C-alpha cells in the first residue's frame, strides 16, 4: 500500500537535522516509509487527572487509556482518551487529548490527518478539502508541551481546544467519525496505540 510522504514527518526530519550535527548520518530514505512500516514505538504513560474543561463538557469523565507515539528515536505526542465513568462509546460524548512533544505547524497536523483519513477509506476529495479547511481553523501552530483536545458532544460534533481554550467547532458527524478513527478505528495505522487508549492493554 502506497502512502504519501507527509509534511509532518518531513518537518520532523528537518528539526532533527538542525538539532544535532551528529545526526547527519541519519538516512533520508527513512522518511519515505509508511508509519506502519517505520520503527514506531508506542508506550503507555501513567494515567492522570481530568482537566476542568473536559469535566465541564463531559460529566463524570475519567481517563480510559493513555499512549505515547514515538517514531524511531524521537517522541511525537502523548495521547489520552476520556469518557464518562471510564466507559468509551463512540456514539456518546468523549474526548481525546494530544500532548505534543515536538513542534509542528497546524497545517502539518491537518494535512497528516487527511492522509490518515484517506488510508482509512475516506476518498471524497471535495469533502476532504472542506475538512482540511476546517482543521486549519482548529489547529494553531504547536510548540513542545502544547495540548490539542477534541471533544465530541451528544450530536457527534467536535469542538477543538488548544491548551484548554476553544478554537473551532466542526458540526459534521461524519468528520467526527473520520477524524477519531485515526486513533480508534480497528484499521488504524497504530493498533497498539488503539488498544492502550481503549484500556485493552498497558
Query: Per-residue pLDDT tens for 44-92?
Result: 344 568 999 999 999 999 999 999 999 888 899 999 999 999 999 999 9
User: Phi first, then psi: what are they for 179, rounded to 5°?
Assistant: -65, -50
In a domain, residue 76? The reply is yes
In a domain, residue 184? The reply is yes
In a domain, residue 5? The reply is no
Domain span holding position 88: 35-197
Structure letter (DSSP) for residue 104: B
pLDDT: which is higher, 38 or 94: 94
In a domain, residue 101? The reply is yes
In a domain, residue 20? The reply is no
Looking at residue 70, what is its pLDDT?
93
pLDDT: which is higher, 89 or 40: 89
Backbone region of residue 28 per phi and psi (left: phi > 0; alpha: psi in -120 to 50; beta: other values):
alpha
Looking at residue 15, what is its pLDDT?
43
Looking at residue 202, what is its pLDDT?
64
Whole-number Cα distances in Å, 104 to 13, 17, 42, 77: 12, 15, 19, 11
In a domain, residue 90? The reply is yes
In a domain, residue 12? The reply is no
Residue 142, beta-bridge partner list: 104
User: Phi first, then psi: what are they for 166, rounded to 5°?
Assistant: -60, 140
| Among 97, 128, 104, 127, CA closest to 115 | 128
- How many domains are there within the chain? 1
> In sequence order, which residues have a C-beta less than 8 Å from that of residue 170 and are 6 or more positions away?
131, 134, 135, 138, 157, 158, 160, 176
CATH (domain of 165): 3.50.70.10
Amino acid at each position: 500500500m502506497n502512502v504519501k510522504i507527509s509534511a509532518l514527518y518531513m518537518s520532523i526530519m528537518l528539526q532533527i537535522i538542525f538539532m544535532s550535527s551528529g545526526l547527519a548520518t541519519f538516512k533520508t530514505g527513512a522518511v519515505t516509509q509508511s508509519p506502519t512500516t517505520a520503527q514506531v514505538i508506542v508506550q503507555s504513560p501513567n494515567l492522570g487527572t481530568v482537566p476542568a474543561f473536559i469535566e465541564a463538557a463531559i460529566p463524570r469523565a475519567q481517563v480510559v487509556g493513555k499512549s505515547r507515539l514515538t517514531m524511531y528515536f524521537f517522541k511525537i505526542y502523548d495521547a489520552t482518551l476520556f469518557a464518562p465513568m471510564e466507559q468509551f462509546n463512540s456514539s456518546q460524548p468523549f474526548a481525546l487529548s494530544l500532548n505534543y512533544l515536538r513542534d509542528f505547524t497546524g497545517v502539518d497536523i491537518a494535512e497528516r490527518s487527511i492522509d490518515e483519513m484517506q488510508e482509512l477509506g475516506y476518498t471524497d476529495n471535495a469533502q476532504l478539502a472542506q475538512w482540511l479547511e476546517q482543521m486549519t481553523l482548529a489547529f494553531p501552530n504547536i510548540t513542545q508541551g502544547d495540548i490539542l483536545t477534541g471533544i465530541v458532544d451528544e450530536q457527534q460534533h467536535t469542538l477543538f481546544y488548544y491548551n484548554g481554550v476553544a478554537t473551532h467547532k466542526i458540526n459534521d458527524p461524519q468528520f467526527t467519525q473520520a477524524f477519531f478513527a485515526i486513533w480508534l478505528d480497528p484499521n488504524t495505522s497504530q493498533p497498539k496505540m488503539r488498544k492502550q487508549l481503549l484500556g485493552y492493554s498497558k
